[in-house]
Structure 1
């Protein structure tokens, strides 16, 4: 539940795991202070991977968890090396590290728990070799990949829980991406807003153009007024329209609801 909530904040993978690490440490401290003996959550592991369908990059961070596997379109398999941080609750405030890799379109990202690799008669290295052999081969759907892996790897008498996730990557059509650089000048807001409106018309989204222009005006104006260079605007049209405005400042933006007497803070709402 905590990870789901943190992910809605669009945090980078390493920051998300850092928040989880602190949360688990607090939970263990609070529960440990109770009257009853508590085993705690310390030692829980986690892998967080974020895929960007525009750049094709995967940003991954792991807290004591096995890394991911990449099945390339030609059927070859690789296990990218990820910097390993301590399990959740044991980080003691140490910064989490991330790895960034670029994967081709049509590749499969395979995430799994250690129960898939280890058994009474198989160590981790042997398990990784067996997993690589099970993943390699001709193109399959994610469902077929899962079935093949479970069929090859699931030992009899398995006692540990197993989780397996397979996701096929795809790239967003470049024709569905629009980007602009914005100078640090309030006069630059109008030309960029007009350019966005023209692109919405090209995409057949005239019915939401007015609302989109209002949102972009507020976001771009705030970035010009309070942010720093580089200021960029990006529109992504996939299953929905995503409007992104970014700047070079180190502060994290957040929505603020205006009080009845506030003279500012109403625009975005």
Structure 2
């Protein structure tokens, strides 16, 4: 079950259970919110990257996963997306070999975003990325 924490003019935050259904739910929720904000131009990419980060959180963490969108201002046109989970270990980009099943999520985030990073939280960590929104 998705728990809406907050949806205000410039940001939206949801909590998803640590369950495989969270991946699709997060993807569709992000896409719908970006549509509501008139940001369809980055909706598909943002949804794809959120699903990668939520999948990573599911593989390594056992608690709820929070997704936050920070709407871009008219000046900077940068959408910020944050995915948080209760695992304190910060992820790192690794090089996946051709036969590996995983290991490409952070590579995809790094190659398709304006900027990305991680930060520790009070409980767990946050992985964030920024996308430039077309005018």
Q: Summarize deviations over 1:199-228 as a string: whole Å, max 9, x none.
A: 101111111111111101110111122113
Q: Summarize deviations over 1:165-211 as a string: whole Å, max 9, x none.
A: xxxxxxxxx41101010101101221221111111011111111111
Tell me the secondary structure at the aligned position of residue 33 of structure 2: helix
Tell me the secondary structure at the aligned position of residue 235 of structure 1: strand
Query: Is 2:85 the partner of 1:247?
Result: yes
- Looking at structure 2, the residues matched to 265 and 193 of structure 1 have their Cα atoms a distance apart, in angstroms, of 19
Q: Summarize deviations over 1:227-246 as a string: whole Å, max 9, x none.
A: 13232111112231111111
TM-score w.r.t. length of structure 1: 0.34
TM-score w.r.t. length of structure 2: 0.64
Structure with more strand by fraction: 2
Point out 4+ residue stretches in structure 1 off by more than 4 angstroms. Answer: none
Q: Summarize deviations over 1:132-173 as a string: whole Å, max 9, x none.
A: xxxxxxxxxxxxxxxxxxxxxxxxxxxxxxxxxxxxxxxxxx
- Looking at structure 1, the residues matched to 94 and 36 of structure 2 have their Cα atoms a distance apart, in angstroms, of 33
Pick aligned residue for 1:229 from 49, 60, 63: 63
Supply the RMSD in Å over aligned alpha carbons. 1.6
Q: Rg: which structure is higher?
A: 1
* 1:266 aligned partner: 104
* 1:200 aligned partner: 34
| Structure 2 contact 22–54 (Cα < 8 Å) conserved | no
By relative contact order (CA 8 Å, sep 6+), the higher-ranking structure is 2
Q: How does 1:1-269 map to 2 (within 5 A)?
A: 174-238=8-72, 239=76, 240-268=78-106, 269=108
Tell me the secondary structure at the aligned position of residue 184 of structure 1: coil
- Looking at structure 2, the residues matched to 255 and 243 of structure 1 have their Cα atoms a distance apart, in angstroms, of 18
